[in-house]
Amino acid sequence: MTHCHFPSGLTTTLSCTAAGARLTVSPSSSQFFRWDFVSLSCEEDDSSAGWTVRRNTSNKSRTQCGAGWGRSAGSSCNISYTVTWHSGVYWCESREGATSNTINITVTGGSVVLQSPVLPVMEGHDVTLTCRRKTPPSNPTADFYKDGSLIRTEPTGHMTIHHVSRSDEGLYKCLSISDGESPSSWISVTGKPTTTAPPTTTEAPPTSATSPLDSSSYQFVFTLLRHLVVFCPYCISTVLMVSLYRRRPTGNELPVSMVMTPPAQAEEGLDDDDYDDVISAVTTEHRF
């Protein structure tokens, strides 16, 4: 069960609000002339909760639709002919005590009413206020006031506030020179709903999925290996050829000779001419 503090006066709002229902009013205005028709509806998420319209007036508190005022039709309440003592604070309430938003309704015996939004206006939206007469012409030239200060005069009886902000919240009324002024109505401004960023995940991406960077790396490595396979044999053969060339003997190198030392002349009994012939015969030249 939801426990709430209920309104004790005509301008007191509820201290809690249930998300299960919202009170709307048709025509969409918070000010009415006597003998106007008004319909109040509880727009509900759960029809089994048994939502009904209740109100506080100057002489009664928390009275339910159908108990001496209005005609109940499910979760709606119709007032066929408004009178001044219908002025008050209206809201929806479930069987368990949950409550909706509240709407202040004023019924005037005068000749001018101010038509203004009955629900809070979202920041950034436009709002149009209309000063309406009871008798034709219905939209006279009118002065519009906020918190007792003149805003401007509109010859058509309409005033639009563009891109409303929190500073536009306040008590508004209009004044017709020929018919007098309207009751005051409070206009509320609500902030834009905040959007929640999606939660970020800390999980690592699957290893099987190859990113574009990995694919480029693999392609580079493959190309490098291909060039190495093609050019390595050429490089090796070039190095071998250079090495062999550098080891080739040049013309300045002397031949290596193997000379057999002949026996002494005296031992052989040879003269000088024979000795020279023998030396020439046994000397063998070997070139490496």
| Distance, CA of 98 to CA of 4 (rounded, Å) | 7
Q: What is the mean pLDDT of the chain?
A: 79
Looking at residues 151-180, what average pLDDT do you find?
A: 95
pLDDT over 90 (residue 211) = no
SS (H, E, C) 110-128: CCEEEECCCCCEECCCCEE
Give me the pLDDT at residue 282, please.
Answer: 43
Looking at residues 173-196, what average pLDDT do you find?
A: 90
Q: What pLDDT, in 10s, does the model give residues 230-247?
A: 767 777 878 778 777 777
Looking at residues 216-237, what average pLDDT do you find?
A: 73
CB 161 within 8 A of CB 148: no
Q: What pLDDT, in 10s, does the model give residues 102-142?
A: 999 999 999 999 999 999 999 999 999 999 999 887 888 99
| Distance, CA of 79 to CA of 40 (rounded, Å) | 8
| Distance, CA of 139 to CA of 115 (rounded, Å) | 11
| Distance, CA of 121 to CA of 119 (rounded, Å) | 6
**CA angle (186 as vertex; 183, 191 as ends), nearest 5:** 160
Coil, helix or strand at residue 222: helix
Percent of all residues in the chain with a pLDDT value above 70, rounded to a whole number: 69
Percent of all residues in the chain with a pLDDT value above 90, rounded to a whole number: 52
Q: What band does 44 get if pLDDT is binned at 50, 70 and 90?
A: confident
pTM above 0.75, yes or no: no
Give me the pLDDT at residue 288, please.
Answer: 39
For 31, counting Cβ atoms within 10 Å of its Cβ (0-12 exposed, 13-18 middle, 19+ buried), the class is buried
